[in-house]
Amino acid sequence: MREILKAENLSKDYLINKKKFNVLRNINISINVGDFVSVMGPSGSGKSTLLYNVSGMDKMSSGEVVFQGEKLSELSEKKLSGLRLKKMGFVFQQINLLNNLGILDNIIFPAQMEGSQDRKKVKQRAVALMKKIGIIELAENEITQASGGQLQRAAICRALINEPEILFADEPTGALNSKSAKEVMDVFHTINKEGTTVMIVTHDIRVASHSSRVIFMKDGNIIGEKVLGELKDLDIELKDREGKLSKWLLDLGF
């Protein structure tokens, strides 16, 4: 398998009231093209910090992150921002759509920021994404005219508008009810099946059961990894995977 991302001896420290806190401790991780990786762990384990550091949203204290052969530490802030905009997509628990833009305009906004794409083609791609994800009827709506699940699916469209190589997600279902969460995870499953690499931070076993690999963190360290393999049939396989994952997490003390 071709590697898309790796972290080598990645550490992140914070200085608070002159006291150093080690949030990440010499993390080593490799993600291949087409992987669906979930990162789990208790609150404060460093899982979100790991996502922010491997995606270049936060600066590591030591170690290295390599994305498609490029060392993030050697990139200027401008090049790093451009890499995130063109090759990475981001979805968060807080949806962060712009209140002054309608749903369709929110989705195409990152492509407008990137600046090199034809607006007509971008709009066509946005409409195609909305159809695929099942929210095309909201194209002309304001963000106040949609449910939380619909807005999260719009945020996924926004994250995919520049056709990223990898999609990062931090607790994307954390604020959703179970029905909306299932709909969003079905979308992630489809995206991954079509070739987009996914790295997701979650505390939810049902969410992690969609992934091919689950990494478990505690106190800034990776203390275990469970390989679940490709999820081929959502309806048939999910319950079995949830059971296997629950037992593994129980053995790890989660």
DSSP string, the chain: --EEEEEEEEEEEEEETTEEEEEEEEEEEEEETT-EEEEE-STTSSHHHHHHHHTTSS--SEEEEEETTEEGGGS-HHHHHHHHHHHEEEEESS----TTS-HHHHHHHHHHHH--S-HHHHHHHHHHHHHHHT-GGGTT--GGGS-HHHHHHHHHHHHHTT--SEEEEESTTTTS-HHHHHHHHHHHHHHHHTT-EEEEE-S-HHHHTTSSEEEEEETTEEEEEEE------HHHHHHHHHHHHHHHHHHTT-
- pLDDT at 57 (0 to 100): 94
pLDDT at position 15: 84
Please state, in angstroms and rounded to a whole number, the distance separating the CA atoms of residues 242 and 239. 5
115 has a pLDDT exceeding 80: no
pLDDT band, residue 108 (cuts 50/70/90): very high
The predicted structure's pLDDT at residue 188:
93
- Please give the domain boundaries of the chain with CATH numbers for all domains: 34-59+82-251 (3.40.50.300)
For residue 236, is pLDDT > 90? no
Counting Cα atoms < 13 Å in the Cβ hemisphere of 97 gives 28
Mean pLDDT for the stretch of residues 73-85: 94
Average pLDDT, the chain: 93
At residue 9 the predicted structure's pLDDT band, cuts being 50, 70 and 90, is very high
Average pLDDT of span 185-194: 92
pLDDT, position 245: 94
Query: In this prediction, what percent of the chain has a pLDDT beyond 90?
Result: 79
Query: Which tokens in the block code for residue 84?
Result: 């995130």
How are beta strands 36-40 and 197-201 bridged, if at all?
parallel
- What mean pLDDT is predicted for residues 13-20? 86
pLDDT at position 77 is 93
Contact 89, 200 (CB under 8 A): no
The band of 16, judged by pLDDT with boundaries at 50, 70 and 90, is: confident
Averaged pLDDT for residues 116-130 = 89
pLDDT score for 232: 87
Q: What confidence tier does 209 reach under pLDDT thresholds 50, 70, 90?
A: very high
Residues in the chain: 254
pLDDT at 114 over 90: no
Determine the pLDDT at residue 96: 85
Rounded to whole angstroms, the Cα distance separating 107 from 162 reads 10
Percent of the chain with pLDDT over 70: 100
C-alpha span between 126 and 154 (Å, rounded): 10
pLDDT of residue 94: 86
Q: Is the pLDDT of residue 222 over 90?
A: yes
SS (H, E, C) 50-100: HHHHHCCCCCCCEEEEEECCEEHHHCCHHHHHHHHHHHEEEEECCCCCCCC
Structure tokens of 60? 């590591």
